[in-house]
Structure formats: C-alpha cells, structure tokens
Amino acid sequence: MNKMKKNAGFTLIELAIVLVIIGLLLGGVLKGQELINSAKVKNLAADFRNVPVYIYGYQDKFKAMPGDDKSAVTHLGASATNSTGSTSGDGVINGVWDSNTAADESILFWQHVRLAGLAPGPTVIPTGTDMSSFVPSNSNGGRIGVSATTPITGMPGTYFMCSSGIDAKYALQIDTTIDDGNTSTGSIRAVATSAAPATAIAPAVITTTTTGAYTVCQSF
C-alpha cells in the first residue's frame, strides 16, 4: 500500500521572508511614484519661475516689454511682429492670458521672447483663431499664458502667468513649493480649469482630498 505524502506547506520563516519581499516591492513602487510626482511638480513649478526671467531679460536687453514692443522688428528682425494699436508701447502686456487673437500682446509675447533667444518654441504666429500650436504647454498638456489682465479675483500684481489642466494635487504642491500653501491667497492662486473664462473669477481652495483639473496663476 502506497502511503500518501503529507504536504508540509510554508514554515513561519518562509512566510516572513515572503512578506518582507512584498513589503520591499510595495515600498519601491510607492517611492518610485513619489519621485515621479516630485519631478512633475518641479517641471510645472519651473514654468512659473521662467516667465519672469523672460520678461526681465527682454526689458534689460531692449528697454521694452515683450509683446508690447512697438519696435520689435528693429530689435528682433523682419520676422518679428510689432505691437500696434492704442496701447502699443505703454509698458503693459495687453490681452488675456488664454487669447486666441494673433494681434494680442499676450500672443506676441511668445514670439518676442523666442526671437530674443530667451525661450524655445515657434516664432511664426498662425493665422486664424487657434493658437494651440504656437503657445507653450505644461507637462500636463495644459496651456501656458501671460497677461497684465487679472485672471483671478483679488490677485495683486502687475503681470500674471497662468498654466491650465493641472491636477489638484500638483496645484497644491506648486503653491506649497512657491507660495503660502493656500490656493486662494498669496501670489499663487487656482481656479477649476473648466471654470476659468477670460474674466476674473473667485479662487478655489484646494485641499489634499480635492480632485479635478485646475488653472494655476501666479502674480509678479
């Protein structure tokens, strides 16, 4: 008669080793995700730090505001577009940050800083009413824009840089990194991207449990 072999199973030591391995794997995954999130926030925050450099660098070089430069052709060459109209050369970047009007100074801004060698990107402004191929985008694919028009109610400052389509958790981390950690006060504020028209609206309070996409704006 054949005797049935007894299944010994796992010992407590073997189970402990398996649990330790699982714990290490989970820890590695979480750490990796944390590093990815940190890198994304750094990329998004860098956009807000770069725009003032563009403005002050252009001012220092040409004694004019990029986008508002009525002598851009003289300063940058024949491929540049001069700012025209009653507000040309008044020291203000007119036009809303998310404009789709080719002649607006908030659109000319990008051509001027690029031709000046301060920023990368195309320099030929498209015709029509779609500027998506011309204006820069952030690492989330949202639009970046600059203007002197106040985008969010109560924001103090002379110029404003806005970046749209940013996840709530990243928006809060950007505010914490650059400003006061409150998306409804200070120089960094946010509104829901779906509720961010050309006119100023009240800022949103983002917490650690908030979800959705937001437009983050900085004043300087």
Q: What digits encode the pLDDT tens for the residues 86-98?
A: 999 999 999 999 9
Pull the structure tokens for residue 193: 């991207």
- Asked if residue 168 has pLDDT above 90, the reply is yes
Are 150 and 102 contacting, i.e. CB atoms less than 8 angstroms apart?
A: no
* pLDDT single digits (tens) 181-205: 999 999 999 999 876 555 678 899 9
DSSP three-state, residue 219: strand
Secondary structure percentages of the chain, helix, strand, coil, to 5: 35, 15, 50
Are 40 and 170 contacting, i.e. CB atoms less than 8 angstroms apart?
A: yes
Q: For residue 63, which of 72, 53, 50, 52 has the smallest C-alpha distance?
A: 72
* pLDDT single digits (tens) 12-71: 777 777 777 777 777 666 556 565 677 788 889 999 999 999 999 999 999 999 999 999
Quote the pTM value: 0.82
The amino acid that residue 176 corresponds to is T
Which sequence spans correspond to the domains of the chain?
14-219
pLDDT band at 2; cut points 50, 70, 90: low
Are 54 and 118 contacting, i.e. CB atoms less than 8 angstroms apart?
A: yes
User: Higher model confidence: residue 194 or residue 218?
Assistant: 218
Beta strands in the chain (DSSP E): 144-147, 160-167, 188-192, 213-219
Are 114 and 120 contacting, i.e. CB atoms less than 8 angstroms apart?
A: yes
Are 146 and 107 contacting, i.e. CB atoms less than 8 angstroms apart?
A: no
User: Higher model confidence: residue 36 or residue 207?
Assistant: 207
DSSP three-state, residue 165: strand
Per-residue model confidence (pLDDT) at position 29: 63
